[in-house]
């Protein structure tokens, strides 16, 4: 996979609805559900506009290059197995999540420019 590290600015759709319904029922917790700022509300990221042919391993490798990952999921259609173009990453350290946003948001991957955001209450039901 060819990666162009040059950031690009884009005004995409709302990350909660960018790629349609999810194939998985796990949700990102809201600050209300988890009790505030000292939890994974600052380590859980949503990543939109991923190339359709990106593998789980490539996804983990890209975000793992930033810091230690607790979990990550490239969301796929349950029936076809095709990528839905988005995924989730949960870092152990909030500083790594912030670094991932600063480093990878706007990154050009093939013909797509990815969007990396903190996953908050708007992500409920997407993972």
> How is the chain split into domains, by residue range?
22-115
Q: Against a cut of 0.85, is the pTM above it? A: no
Residue 10 has pLDDT above 60, yes or no: no
Closest CA to 73 of 25, 35, 121: 25
pLDDT band at 56 (very low <50, low <70, confident <90, very high): very high
Digit-coded pLDDT (tens) for 31-53: 334 344 445 678 999 999 999 99
Note the pLDDT of residue 119: 86
Q: Which CATH class is domain 22-115?
A: alpha beta
* Closest residue by Cα to residue 24 from 91, 90, 76, 59: 76
């Amino acid at each position: 996979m060819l990666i162009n590290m040059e950031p690009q600015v884009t005004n995409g759709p709302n990350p909660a609805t960018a790629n349609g319904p999810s194939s998985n029922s796990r949700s990102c917790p809201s600050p209300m559900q988890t009790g505030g700022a000292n939890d994974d509300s600052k380590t859980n990221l949503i990543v939109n506009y991923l190339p359709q042919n990106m593998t789980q391993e490539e996804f983990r490798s890209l975000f793992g290059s930033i810091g230690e990952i607790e979990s990550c999921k490239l969301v796929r259609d349950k029936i076809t197995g095709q990528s839905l173009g988005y995924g989730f990453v949960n870092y152990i350290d909030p500083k790594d999540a912030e670094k991932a946003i600063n480093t990878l948001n706007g990154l050009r991957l093939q013909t797509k420019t990815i969007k990396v955001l903190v996953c908050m209450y708007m992500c409920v039901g997407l993972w």
